[in-house]
Homo-oligomer: A and B are copies of this chain.
Amino acid sequence: MNEINVCLSPALIPLYNVEDYIVVVIDIFRASSSICYGIENGAEAIIPVSRVEECAAYGEKGLNYLLAAERDGKVVDGFDFGNSPFSYTAEKVAGKTIVLTTTNGTHALHLSIKAKKIVIGSFLNLTALCTWLQSQDENILLVCAGWKNNFNLEDTLFAGAVVEQLKEFSFKLDDAAIAANDLYQLGKHDINQYLKKTSHRERLEKLGIERDIEFCLQIDITTAIPVLDGDKLVKLG
């Protein structure tokens, strides 16, 4: 029987043989939501890099990259944009390649690099993602990017939403998958309201990105599944 395991922090990735899993990287506020939106909107590729300097180096290559860098929730000085989904509209990204570094999401992605496949999940592409996952007949590891390796509720709740769609297909769930799904039951009727009590939310509100948050909690407004191909995230075809 295939497994669905939920990895509640990137710091726990070493507990898993990621080679045995399709990994879904989850960073709801906001990297994975923006990546899904950007790929849906025709971005040719998104290159996730770990460090701001790597991101900047692409600019020096003189090619037509869009450079996106976020640290601690803010756009890094000197960059085109960060990880607000409103920077990933068709008008801005269609046909473009974006180089992206973020506080949490790209970190989780690089730690999962040996996985069978790495895809990006968000509420935006939830059902498309689950339909594809269900068709793969593989173990699934849902990796919550968290906040600087700390557990966070929004990523966990999304993991629970994935479990919700897949659990009828007789996967074996670990305790974290059970917990994530139970938390999703508590929050699903009004996810925005449920998340208002969380710590990260408070931090994000201080950053003035309430509009981004509402955007990232929309369910099934996209169908593209970003998948890592070499060093680039592209549309799964």
| A156 to B179 Cα, complex, angstroms | 9
- Residue in B9, B152, B176 whose CB lies within 8 Å of A12: B9
Size category, A interface: 20 to 34
Q: Are B149 and A175 in contact (CB under 8 A)?
A: no
Q: Are B186 and A199 in contact (CB under 8 A)?
A: no
Q: How many copies does the complex hold?
A: 2
| Interface of A: prevailing SS | helix
B-chain residues with CB within 8 Å of residue A9 when the two chains form the complex: 8-9, 12
- Residue in B11, B173, B182, B198 whose CB lies within 8 Å of A175: B198
B-chain residues with CB within 8 Å of residue A178 when the two chains form the complex: 153, 197-198
Q: Are B15 and A149 in contact (CB under 8 A)?
A: yes
**Is A128 located at the chain interface by the 8 A CB criterion?**
no
**Is A200 located at the chain interface by the 8 A CB criterion?**
yes
- Per-position binary interface string of chain A over residues 168-210, scored 1 when its CB falls under 8 Å from any chain B CB and 0 otherwise: 0000011110110011011000000000011110000000000
**Is A151 located at the chain interface by the 8 A CB criterion?**
yes
| A9 to B183 Cα, complex, angstroms | 18
**Is A150 located at the chain interface by the 8 A CB criterion?**
yes
A-B contacts, 30 of them at CB < 8 A, read A8-B8, A8-B151, A9-B9, A9-B12, A11-B11, A11-B12, A11-B14, A12-B149, A15-B149, A15-B150, A150-B174, A150-B175, A150-B176, A151-B174, A151-B175, A151-B176, A153-B175, A153-B178, A153-B179, A156-B179, A173-B199, A174-B199, A175-B198, A175-B199, A175-B200, A178-B197, A179-B179, A179-B183, A182-B183, A182-B186
